[in-house]
């Protein structure tokens, strides 16, 4: 069974920006982008891309400094 992620769930996930030490660039791609733009009602996975230095900041927030 797959979980469907609608616009509000995706935006909720992105609220982690409140924990970031600086601004980062996050680019939504595929079904994630289409859902955020309202082109489809939901997606079953989350696809983002970002520059390497921004990924390190993003990962630090998601999994801690380990």
What is this structure's pTM?
0.77
- In the chain, the number of structural domains is 1
Give, in degrees to the nearest 5, the angle at Cα 57 between 54 and 58. Answer: 85
Give, in degrees to the nearest 5, the angle at Cα 34 between 14 and 19. Answer: 5
In order along its 66 residues, the chain shows pLDDT tens digits of 578 999 999 998 888 878 888 899 999 999 999 999 999 999 999 999 999 999 998 888 888 755
Q: What is the C-alpha separation between 31 and 12, in angstroms, rounded?
A: 16
The two structure tokens encoding residue 11: 């935006």
Containing structural domain, residue 52: 5-63
The three-state secondary structure class of 22 is coil
Q: What is the C-alpha separation between 39 and 63, in angstroms, rounded?
A: 31
């Amino acid at each position: 069974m797959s979980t469907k992620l609608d616009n509000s769930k995706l935006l909720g996930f992105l609220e982690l920006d409140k924990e970031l030490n600086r601004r980062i660039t996050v680019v939504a791609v595929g079904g994630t982008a289409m859902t955020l733009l309202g082109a489809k009602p939901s997606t079953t996975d989350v696809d983002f891309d970002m520059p390497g230095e921004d990924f390190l900041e993003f990962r630090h927030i998601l999994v801690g400094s380990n």
